[in-house]
Copies of this chain bind each other. A is one copy, B any other.
Amino acid sequence: MKRICIDMDEVLADTYAKFEDIYAERFGRRLQPEDYRGMKIYDLPGAADIRNAMYEPGFFRDLPVMEHAREVAEELYANYEVFITTAATEFKHSLIDKWEWLHEHLPFIHHHRIVLCGDKRIVHGDFMIDDKVRNLSGFNGTGLLFTASHNVNDEGYYRVNNWLEVRDYFRRERNDHQGLA
């Protein structure tokens, strides 16, 4: 069974939605996606310390689930060896928040398949779905770049714009594999 490594932030969980809330609270203005195209919200002028919110207990606990993430992840889980591989060790409190978030929203994922790490070069597998080129570039298998505001100008990886495109990619992958077998 082929292995897929799936990232959490900006792939399964919508951290941008939360940063938009924090920005609005701080600056009294609701950002639109085009306001931070090609960057992260905390890269906007004056907003650098918004990043510190990730160190707070609870930041990662109540993030919205990305659209179609649950049903597609469940389909992948049935057909591949899925691991959740998430950079978390910088933020101590994120460890339990992320564990509980997965338990609530993707309860079919066995705890054996959760990897809370820092540098993802240590994981290996056949596919990685991630929003950061630096994670994909150190991966031994095929990297799929999940579109996020900060990566819209990045190139060099097969891009998936949403979870339905992820579903279709792996349905084709299975068909091709079965066709060859």
Contact = CB atoms under 8 A, between A and B. Distances in A.
Nearest to A87: B112
Interface residues of A, number: 28
Give the number of times this chain occurs in the complex, counting copies.
2
Interface string A1-16: 0010100000000000
Nearest to A95: B95
A116 B117 contact: yes
Interface in A104-124: 110-119, 122-124
Contact of A122 (B95, B96, B99, B123): B123
A89 B118 contact: no
A110 B96 CA distance: 19
A159 interface: no
6 A-B pairs with the lowest CB-CB distances in the bound complex, closest first? A112-B118, A95-B95, A89-B111, A116-B116, A112-B119, A89-B114
Interface of A: 3, 5, 83, 85, 88-90, 92-93, 95-96, 99-100, 110-119, 122-125, 140
25 contacts: A5-B122, A83-B122, A89-B112, A89-B114, A89-B115, A89-B116, A90-B112, A92-B96, A92-B100, A93-B96, A96-B96, A110-B118, A111-B118, A112-B118, A114-B117, A114-B118, A115-B115, A115-B117, A115-B118, A115-B122, A116-B117, A122-B125, A123-B123, A123-B124, A124-B140
